[in-house]
Amino acid sequence: MRFILASNSPRRQELLRNAGFDFEVRSCPLPEPSPERGADPTQYAMAAGQSKALCIAAEAPPGTLVLAADTVVVLNGLILGKPVGPHDATQMLRLLSGKTHEVITGVCLARAPDTIETRVHEITFVTFRDLDDEEIRDYVKSREPYDKAGAYAIQGYASRFVTRISGCYFNVVGLPVALVAEILKSFTAEVGSRK
């Protein structure tokens, strides 16, 4: 089954390709909303994923499936999005140092044009070892943190920071692939039974 991935993320594209999915890529031209102070992280991630999916579904040919996702890093209820610069990345990494945080991905699947949708989420717990200022500085200089929620890429240099992970590794990379496979299967079965 072919679908549209509403994302420019090379990591999401690679994960889906490696899992054998057939898809095309389109991205929503709307800017990503910033979470409001005190926003529920899971609801925020799911709403952001839904917004991206519906943006593309509205313009897609009838019957087209659109998949979108949004990933956030959460520490003690504080949502850490993508850093806006070196200072922001440094602050995020200092916050994460020596602590366990959550990585939450909200996933939305919609069918164009009637926007029937399924929204789900995945949560993974990640623990960082204590980081010293020099390694944070070196990592920020690598530029790897800049387009990543929480200012790190678990599959890259930041793998050196992770002492423990509980849950789906691929969720931390940017897309819980097994969950996506499950919702694609159940969504197509559900829509097919309505015909």
- The reply to whether 70 belongs to the active site is yes
Q: Would you call 46 exposed, middle or buried from its count of C-beta atoms within 10 A (0-12, 13-18, 19+)?
A: buried
Give yes or no for a contact between 106 and 46, defined as CB atoms under 8 angstroms apart. Answer: yes
In the chain, how long is the greatest CA-to-CA distance? 60
Of residues 40, 70, 88, 138, which has the active-site annotation? 70
- Angle between the N-to-C axes of helices 133-141 and 86-96, in degrees from 0 to 180, rounded to the nearest 10: 140
CA 111 – CA 26 distance, rounded (Å): 15
- Percentage helix, strand, coil, to 5, in the chain? 40, 30, 30
Contact 5, 13 (CB under 8 A): yes
Provide the pairing of β-strand 78-80 with 100-111. unpaired
Helix (H, G, I), strand (E, B) or coil at 174: coil
Active site positions, annotated: 70
